[in-house]
Amino acid sequence: MRTILIIITLIFIQSCKSDPMVNKLDIEGHRGCRGLLPENTIPAFKKAIDIGVTTLEMDLAITADSVVIVSHEPFFNYEISTHPEGDSVTQNNHLKYNIYQMTLEEVQKWDVGMRPHPRFPDQKKIEVVKPSLEEVFTFAEAYAEEQGSEPLFYNIEIKSSPRGDNLYHPEVGRFADLVMEVVKQHGLEKRIILQSFDLRALLYMNETYPDIATALLISNKKSIGDNIAELGFKPDIYSPSFDLIDQVVLGYCSAEDIKLIPWTVNEEEDIRTIIDMGVYGIISDYPDRVVRIWKELNQ
């Protein structure tokens, strides 16, 4: 028995040596740092880098001129958007402001930082536009190097659905190819995670770009086994809403060597609880809280 325990211990130590994130936490700034600055904007990503995140998390859409834009919705959400001509943007009409039917130039006439956010009252208000993925990579890489930060990782989400094909975005293969063109131009293949709720996007990535890390986003209450089976292959990362994590999920990810990175963990008590579970990373609108708590726990 003692010999078996020694062998298991040696295997565990060796596996720890091969994983650079063991005894670390992948701290991901959700949409940059949505609790502090307007989401998915250059200032939010800059602040997240200053805070000390390891990964910038963001969402992607496509413009009419095939530019990959950083945006949570493929339209101008009424909660954050100001029409360039002063027209009223409301919950009843915001779907008509379709980014896929606008050029990059038209998209960047809209302000997405001055409207008070109903769910993030402490968010600083500034005039700002939606950046392209190219602009984010160019800024973040240069700024991180200037600050002497560790190389950043990027968790980028393809926001697609079957109902949105050729209406709010191109077909999923074309969407993924456009994203990967930008990734390759910046040589970031080894520091990219491609996440999606759309199984089609992940399947296409697995088949066409098998060396790119993939993350399965989950908001449903199906078992982890059923979700993985429905996907059809083992993703690198399982990324559920944090309230869906239980011992079954933890055990499955450990047994199958799948990294567990829940979203979106904002309250301090929840952050501490999730860290105690031993997850690989945390996605948060308040990465400053995660950084502070992680440092406190490791003093």
> Is 181 part of any domain?
yes
Which tokens is 108 given?
A: 């960047």
Q: Are strands 281-284 and 153-158 parallel, antiparallel or unpaired?
A: unpaired
8 Å CB contact between 115 and 79: yes
Q: Give pLDDT, residue 56.
A: 98
Strand partners for 214: 194
Q: Which of 66, 271, 252, 286 is nearest to 170 (CA)?
A: 66
> Is 2 part of any domain?
no
Q: Which of 288, 13, 45 is nearest to 153 (CA)?
A: 45
Q: Please give the residue range of the domain that contains residue 119.
A: 24-297
> Is 173 part of any domain?
yes
> Is 12 part of any domain?
no
Q: Give pLDDT, residue 250.
A: 98
> Is 133 part of any domain?
yes
Question: Could you read off the pLDDT tens digit of each residue along the chain, which spans 299 residues?
Answer: 444 433 333 444 344 433 434 469 999 999 999 999 999 999 999 999 999 999 999 999 999 999 999 999 999 999 999 999 999 999 999 999 999 999 999 999 999 999 999 999 999 999 999 999 999 999 999 999 999 999 999 999 999 999 999 999 999 999 999 999 999 999 999 999 999 999 999 999 999 999 999 999 999 999 999 999 999 999 999 999 999 999 999 999 999 999 999 999 999 999 999 999 999 999 999 999 999 999 999 98
> Is 28 part of any domain?
yes
Q: What is the dihedral of CA 278, 284, 288, 289, to 10 degrees?
A: -60
- Domain count for the chain: 1
> Is 6 part of any domain?
no
120: domain CATH number is: 3.20.20.190
pTM above 0.85, yes or no: yes
> Is 165 part of any domain?
yes
Q: Give pLDDT, residue 299.
A: 86
